Structure 1
Amino acid sequence: MVADHQSSSPASPRPRFTIGYALPPGKAGSVIQPPLEALAAERGMRLVAVDASLPLADQGPFDLIIHKLFDRPWRAQLEAFSALHPSVPVVDAPAAVDRLLDRFTMLDVVPGLAAGLDFPLSVPAQVTVSDAAALAADDPSHGLRFPLIAKPLAVDGSAGSHDLCLVYRAEGLRGLHTPVVLQEFVNHGGVLFKVYVVGGRAVCVRRSSLPDVPAARLADPDADASVPFANISSRPALDKGEDSMPPAAFVDQVARGLRQALGLHLLNFDMFAATELDDGGRQRYFLVDINYFPGFAKMPGYETALTDFFAEMIQVGTGAASFEKLESVPCNGIDLE
C-alpha cells in the first residue's frame, strides 16, 4: 500500500486508504457529502479534509490527494509532498490546471482534436482585449461579428470572474473591464450540453442556455446594447428525446481528447450544436468553456463516479492499473437548472 511508506501514528487505526482533499469551503460542502463518504467507506476509503496552512507530510499518511487550491504556498506544499511521496497521485497538477484559469488559452487545445472526431468541432471566433481604450476604437469588436459574449479573462473564483454579458452592438463594449475575452455568439437553439469528465468516465447532460438572437434584435437601436447573462431569460431545455443529444461516441471522443491534451482527470466542458449545419449538411458543434473540478454535485450519480475514480487512482499509485480506457456513459436528457 502506498501509504505504508509514510509516517503515521500507530495508535490511530484507519481504513485501508486515506484520501486527502483540499477544496474551497463552498466546493467541499457541495461535493463531500455523507452519501459520497459512505460509498467511499464501503470501498475501504476515508475522505479527510486537509489543512492547507499545515505541512501535508504532517497530516498523512495519504494514498491520494485531490484539490482545487492554486495559491503559491499550496503549490509549494504539493511540490514538497510529491518529492517525499512520488507514488501518491495528486489530482491534478497545478501546472496542468493553469491553462484553464485563462478563458482564452483554455480552448487552445480544441482545434487539435478535430481530426479524430465524428463531427465538426470548433471554438467560436474570439479575441482578447487587454486595453480599455481599444474598446472605444473604430473597430472595437476587432473584426468579430455581433452579438458577442464578453467574458473576464481570468477564472479566479471571484464573483467578478463570472460577470459575463451578451453584447449586441459596439456601444455595448464601451465600459467593459479589461482584460476581457470577446467571443462570437452562435445561435444554438437555447440548449447546451455539459459534459462531466471523471477520470475515464464521461457523463453528458442537457441544460437550458441563452436563446437565439434574431437579426432584428441586432438592428434595434432602442434596445440595450449589452445585457448581463443574469438578466437574460433562458427557456427550459426541451425534452426532444435521445435524438437531440450528441452521440455518446462523439462525446467520448471529445472527452478523451481533452483529458489527454490537458493532462487533467476532473473537469467539465460546455458544448452546443449550432442551429445551422455546415456546408456538407453535417451537424456542427462548438466548445465554449472548460472548468477544472466543477460542481460535481449537479452531475447525476456523481457519488459512484467519484468513488470509482478514487479507487482507480489509488490503483494507479500502486502501479496496479493505468488510465488509458475511457468508459462510455450514454448522454441523458436531464436538465440542470
Structure 2
Amino acid sequence: CRKQSLLLQIDLTRPLVHQGPFDVIVHKLSDVIVEAEQDSQSQQLLANFQVRSYVSAHPATVLLDPLPAMTRLLDRFASYRIMSELRESLRGECDRIPTNTFSFLFFPPHAVCKTRVAHGSLSHEMSLIFSGGGLEDIRPPCVLQSFVNHGAVLHKVFVVGDRHFCVERPSLKNFPSGACDRKTIFFNSHEVSKPESNSDLTAVSNHTASRAPPSSEAVAALVGELRVQLGMALFGVDLIISIHTHTLTVIDINIFPGYEGVPQFFSSLLSHIESVLDQRQAGGGPSAATTGL
C-alpha cells in the first residue's frame, strides 16, 4: 500500500474532510473517546475526526470499526450484558461457554474488581478480593467478577474479520477457597498477562496447571456470534478454563487489541480490507455501521 501511495496516516489535528476521500478508515480511537470526557484536547481531536458527518457525506467509506459499536464496549456493564446475551444465543449450540457473573453486590468466595471504563491506562488496574471486608478497598464505579481458578493460563482470541487466532498468555494463579483471611491483592493486568510477564501472581505448581487449549469448535461458535452481535471486525476475547469444571468462560471483550503473538495479523488485516472493498465494488458491501458482519 505504501509503495502505491494508497496508505495515508490521518492527522487528527485537522478535519477529516480535508484529508480524503477514503475507501477504508482503520482507526483505534477508543482511548481518545475515553479521554474526551475530561480532556479538552482529546475532545478537539475527536471533533476533528468528524466521522459521522464525513461518513454521512461519503456513504461508501468503510469504517473499521464503527464508532457506536466501539463506544458500547468502553463500558464494562454494556460489555457484560452482551456476554449474558451471548450465552443465551449459544445455548444448545455450545453449552460449555458460560459468561462470568457480574453485578454491583454479588460476592463469591473470591472476586476480581475492575474499573467500569474498559479502556485507558486505569482500566488495567484491578484487584483480587478475598472477603466481604475487602470491599472497603474498592473505588467505584467498578464491577465485580467472580474469580475462577484456571491454572494461571489465559487464552486470548484475536479476531480479524472472518479469521481468528488463539494465543496463550500467563494469568493469575489458583487461590484456595479458604483464603478468606488474605488481604486484597492489587495488580495491573498488562503486567500479569503480557507474553514476557514473570510475576509471583502467575506462578503455579505443575499439578494444578491446566494447559488444555479451548475447543476450536467452541471458539469458532463464540467468535461467529460475537461478530454478529458487535458488528465489528477487529476485537479480542479473553477466555479462561476452570480447572474444576473444565468450562470455558468469557471474562472480557477487547476493542482493537495489540495482536501480540499473531504473526499473520497484517496480512489478515489486508485480506479483510480487500474483501470489504470487493463486496462494496460488487454492490453488496457493508455500510459503516455493519463493517464487522
Length-normalised TM-score, structure 1: 0.69
Deviations 1:45-90 (CA, angstroms, capped at 9, x unpaired): 7332111222212112211001122356536701111111101101
Which is further off, 243-252 or 203-212? 243-252
1:272 alignment partner, SS class: strand
SS of equivalent to 1:306: helix
Q: Secondary structure at the match of 1:251?
A: helix
Bigger radius of gyration, 1 or 2? 1
- The residue aligned with 1:265 is 233
Q: What secondary structure sits across from 2:137 in the alignment?
A: coil
**Aligned 8 A contact 2:127 2:184 in 1:** no
Q: Name the counterpart of 1:319.
A: 282
Does the aligned pair in 2 maintain the 1:208–1:236 contact within 8 Å? Answer: no
Deviations 1:191-229 (A, max 9, x none): 1110001011111111121111113423xx3x3233335
- Following the alignment from structure 1 to structure 2, what is the Cα–Cα distance between the partners of residues 144 and 108? 18
Instruction: Give the 5 Å matches for 1:89-100.
Output: 89-100=62-73
1:105-145 deviation per Cα after TM superposition (whole angstroms, max 9, x unaligned): 102222233225334212211113xxxxxxxxxxxxx2421
Alignment of 1:10-29 (within 5 A): none
Q: Contact 1:124–1:183 (CA<8 Å) still a contact in 2?
A: yes
What pairs up with 1:1-337 in 2 under 5 angstroms?
A: 40-41=1-2, 46-69=6-29, 70=33, 71=36, 74=46, 77-110=50-83, 111-115=87-91, 117-128=93-104, 142-157=105-120, 159-218=121-180, 221=181, 223-229=182-188, 232-235=200-203, 244-277=212-245, 283-319=246-282
- Give structure 2 stretches of 5+ with no counterpart: 37-42, 192-198
| CA distance in structure 2 between the aligned counterparts of 1:170 and 1:228, rounded to whole angstroms | 19
> In 1, distance between residues paired with 2:5 and 2:284?
18
CA contact (8 A) 1:151 1:182 kept: yes
Preserved contact between residue 172 and residue 226 of structure 1 (Cα < 8 Å) = no
Question: In the aligned structure 2, how far is the partner of 1:305 from the partner of 1:92?
Answer: 15
Is the contact made by 1:165 and 1:228 (CA closer than 8 Å) also made in structure 2? yes
Mapped partners of 1:80, 1:251: distance in 2: 37
User: Is the alpha carbon distance of 1:296 and 1:306 closer, same or farther for their aligned partners in structure 2, counting shifts above 3 Å?
Assistant: same
Q: In structure 2, what residue type is equivalent to 1:168? A: F
- TM-superposed CA distance for 1:319, in Å, is 3.4
Matched residue SS, 1:257: helix
- Partner amino acid, structure 2, of 1:114: L
In angstroms, what is the RMSD of aligned CA positions? 2.7
Paired residues of 1:88 and 1:317 also in contact (CA < 8 A) = no
Cα gap change, 1:174 to 1:273, in 2 (>3 Å): same
**Alpha carbons 2:167, 2:261 under 8 Å: kept:** no
Contact 2:98 2:248 in 1 (8 A): yes
Paired residue type of 1:260? V
Q: Structure 1 stretch 55-64 or stretch 252-261: which is displaced more?
A: 55-64
Deviations 1:4-58 (A, max 9, x none): xxxxxxxxxxxxxxxxxxxxxxxxxxxxxxxxxxxx458x673321112222121
Is the partner of 1:60 in helix, strand or coil? coil
Question: What fraction of aligned residue pairs are identical, expressed as a percent?
Answer: 27
The Cα shift of 1:237 comes to 11
- Structure 1 unpaired stretches of 5+: 1-39, 129-141, 278-282, 327-337
Matched residues in 2 for 1:67 and 1:81: separation? 14
3-state SS in 2 of match to 1:49: coil
How many angstroms apart in 1 are the aligned matches of 2:149 and 2:260?
Answer: 29
State how far apart, in whole Å, the 1-side matches of 2:285 and 2:224 are.
14
Partner of 2:40: none
CA displacement, residues 170-195 of structure 1 (integer Å, 9 cap, x when unaligned)? 22221321101011101111111100
Relative to structure 1, the CA distance from residue 193 to residue 77 in structure 2 (aligned partners, 3 Å threshold; closer, same or farther) is same
TM-score between both structures, scaled by the size of structure 2: 0.79
Count of residue correspondences: 259
